[in-house]
Amino acid sequence: MATTLMTAPPEISWVERLRAEGAEGQAAVAELHTLLLKAARFEIGRRAAALSHLRGGDQEDLAQQAADDALMAVLRKLDDFRGESRFTTWAYKFALLEAAVKVRKRAWQGREIPLEDEAWGALADAGAPAGRGAEDAELFAALREEIERLGERQREVLVAVALNGVPIDVLAERLGSTRGALYKNLHDARRNLRAALAKRGFRVGTGGEEEA
């Protein structure tokens, strides 16, 4: 009677190989790094417009850094893999994220981070089309007043991220903070602004955010 051989699913095989000792584990890590590097190169190439000042060698360096960081993240989080998708699909996400972060940081390298009033002129121009009603002008003035009343860190984060388009990871690096902490500052600032404007009689939306 023929014996049926049971083989482990590729996803399980990946996890077991990466945890293996010696040559087998080293080979699996090298193979995974190659896959992550391919994903990082793809993402950096897709975002090449933000890196038009960089040479090809610089983009390759970013891809290598992203793949290295993604590899470390995957290895740290092996216990989080539940097999709900292909292992490579799960791992690719780490490389895409790291590559995107590297591109954003490089695009802002050497640029001053605007934290205060620089954005107001542009915002006022953008929000002042011909024929704008007095009610809109009043709301804009109230918004500026209430932003000035925010705590210093909430105001800095709101102005930098929401008004000046600074990526949250870039801002976290410059301020010596974390993405999570700055997201909380941003959420709290928006919540405080909505509450303050509502008290002044303005109807404002939630912008898709849920209250804490």
Taking the C-alpha atoms of residue 32 and residue 180, their distance in angstroms, rounded to an integer, is: 28
Q: Is the pLDDT of residue 124 over 70?
A: no
Least confident range from 11-15, 21-25, 144-148, 202-206: namely 202-206
Residues 6+ apart with CB under 8 A from 206: 194
Q: Is the pLDDT of residue 125 over 70?
A: no
Q: What is the pTM of this model?
A: 0.61
| Mean pLDDT, residues 39-61 | 79
Q: Quote the strand ranges of the chain, DSSP E.
A: none
Domains of the chain by residue range: 10-107, 118-199
| Mean pLDDT, residues 43-53 | 77
For 118-199, CATH gives 1.10.10.10
Q: What is the pLDDT of residue 131?
A: 46
Give helix 87-107 / helix 10-19 axis angle, nearest 10°. 70
| Mean pLDDT, residues 65-76 | 95
Q: Which helix (H) or strand (E) holds 63?
A: helix 56-76
| Mean pLDDT, residues 187-210 | 77
Taking the C-alpha atoms of residue 158 and residue 162, their distance in angstroms, rounded to an integer, is: 5
Taking the C-alpha atoms of residue 156 and residue 186, their distance in angstroms, rounded to an integer, is: 9
Instruction: Give the percent of the chain with pLDDT over 90.
Output: 37
Class of domain 10-107: mainly alpha
Residue pair 65/7 in contact by the 8 Å Cβ criterion: no
